[in-house]
Structure 1
Amino acid sequence: MRIVAISDLHVDRSKANAATVAAVAEEVACLQPEVFIVAGDLSPSPQRIGEVLGAWAGLAPLCLFVPGNHDLWLLPKERKAGITSWEKYGQVLPEVCAREGFHYLPGRPMVWRGVGFVGTMGWFDYSLRDRSLDGQIPWEAYERNRYRYIHWNDRRYARWEASDREVTLAMAEELEAGLKQLEPRGVQRMVAVTHHLPFEDLLPSEEKGPLAKQFCWGFLGSALLGKVLLGYPQVGHL
């Protein structure tokens, strides 16, 4: 089965990023995949996400979407209306996907041509942090999402009304629930899609940079996601 997956285009950041929408459509059409997976971080704007997904609809027989953290940031009008990131994750974005011909994977595992697909955005609980720096970077800095001049902006723009640990637990539980739903169906191969990293081995491989840069590793994912995946040997991960 040919699967094409992309993430982190951040189409609102620059004209160059916006231009990638057409470029991706052209490239994916040439590759002719059976499954096209968009694994998050398109835009904080549901309208813009819909426009992008609409431009990509039909590029594969099966098109899947898993949001990223930036897709869950709240626009000023959403914040004013009292919308939370939970609502955006569980209600707003699934509706956008349904309109644009994409299957919203979180909480909606599926089997297609004998392969199971399951997904969650994931989140972070600082378990992937560089532990060699624990003597220099206090735990409270991770909880604040801020160290020296570095701000991890999820604290500023997402609104869960829950701690990072609680959000991460909910995402890990969502992932495991999806895998359990597929098990009784006798699926021998599964593809799990997460936006956040589930394993330390997936962290940037280049030499360690400045201390503040390494601080950001604590916000790239959670070992809890990896623990769930390792419990299902028939799973491959994207």
Structure 2
Amino acid sequence: MKIGVMSDLHIDSNAKKLAPGQTYDYLLAELLYNQEIDLLLLAGDVSSDYHDTFAFLDRMRDHNVSKIQFVPGNHDFWSIRNHEEDTDRIYQLFKERDENPVGNPFLIGDKWAVVGNPGWYDYGFASDRYTIAEFSKKKLKVGGWNDRRYVHWSKDDRAVATAMQGELESDLKEVGDRKIIMMTHVVTHPQFVIPLPHPVYDYYNAFLGSKSYMQLYDRYPIVHSIMGHVHFRKMLYEEDTTFYCACLGSARHWYTEDPYIEMAYTMEEFTIDN
């Protein structure tokens, strides 16, 4: 089986790069077809409104090129134009979709399983010179983290991160002795955040991932680990695990002006024997 990895399409903010008549779902379907991808692991932030993300996933299903497993990113929980503020309800709607692996690991034969969860941030990758109360405000003089305006969990961030870790562990246990492909939106490894000290990211690293998730690699046979969120394109091999961060990201950081070429540059691929 040939597996493709990608995240952070941001189809709304990157729409200006499309030629007349182009759409990101069509371009992605074309890429998957050309690369003969059997399964796409899409690690969140398709758009900044869950309605648009649902519509994109529906169109990808209709293209019927590759199977897709998807975990939402923080932007996918937003719904600015509809002023929706019940993020727990939106998360439940994602869990009810066919391409959702949360509570529903995607089994690949008897040997492999995809376990996925959006994950959330526990502030663990930031500097300890800030307090939990300062992190919870999600705002410094240099700017603010927009989840403070558009994401409204019934629990605080660290409690959400803990709850999502619990969901991950439950699914990791469920797949038994299969080799694991784990997918989150947030970062789970310190090599994928900004090195500290840093005048800005001493604070903003707090919202990039969860340091507590690192313990999962010691407990479970995670062979491939997929992340997104940080808009890096980076791979790392460490202690029998390959880590992937394949973010299309913001067009202002692209190498070219062509969205298809950028997606082709971005997508990582690997094969497994199923």
After TM superposition, is the score higher than 0.5?
yes
Decide which moves more: 155-164 or 110-119: 110-119
The counterpart of 1:26, out of the listed 19, 26, 30, is 30
SS of the residue aligned with 1:237? strand
The TM-score with structure 2 as length reference comes to: 0.72
Structure 2 CA distance for aligned equivalents of residues 25 and 227 of structure 1 = 36
Sequence identity (%): 27
Aligned to 1:69: 74
Q: Report Cα offsets for 1:105-147 as digits up to 9, x if no partner.
A: 1221131233111111011111011x3xx34x44432121111
Aligned to 2:163: 170
Structure 2 CA distance for aligned equivalents of residues 23 and 16 of structure 1 = 14
Does residue 182 of structure 1 match 2:175?
yes
Q: Which letter maps to 2:184? A: T
Shift of 1:25: 1.9
Decide which moves more: 110-119 or 13-22: 13-22
Does residue 222 of structure 1 match 2:224?
no
Q: For the Cα contact (< 8 Å) 1:74–1:84, is it kept in 2?
A: no
Q: Which letter maps to 2:205? A: W
Aligned in 2, Cα 1:122/1:56: closer, same or farther, shift over 3 Å? same
Aligned to 1:86: 88
Structure 2 CA distance for aligned equivalents of residues 138 and 166 of structure 1 = 16
Aligned to 1:2: 2
Structure 2 CA distance for aligned equivalents of residues 46 and 140 of structure 1 = 29
* Equivalent residue runs for 1:111-190 within 5 Å: 111-113=107-109, 114-129=111-126, 131=127, 134-135=128-129, 137-183=130-176, 186-187=177-178, 189-190=179-180
Q: For the Cα contact (< 8 Å) 2:182–2:222, is it kept in 1?
A: no
Q: For the Cα contact (< 8 Å) 2:139–2:145, is it kept in 1?
A: yes
Structure 2 CA distance for aligned equivalents of residues 152 and 224 of structure 1 = 21
Shift of 1:49: 1.4
- The total of aligned residue pairs comes to 219
Aligned to 1:59: 65
Gaps of 5+ in 2: 227-274
Aligned in 2, Cα 1:118/1:141: closer, same or farther, shift over 3 Å? same
The counterpart of 1:199, out of the listed 186, 189, 193, is 189
Higher helix proportion: 1
Aligned in 2, Cα 1:46/1:74: closer, same or farther, shift over 3 Å? closer
CA RMSD between the two structures:
2.2
Structure 2 CA distance for aligned equivalents of residues 9 and 234 of structure 1 = 25
Shift of 1:215: 2.2
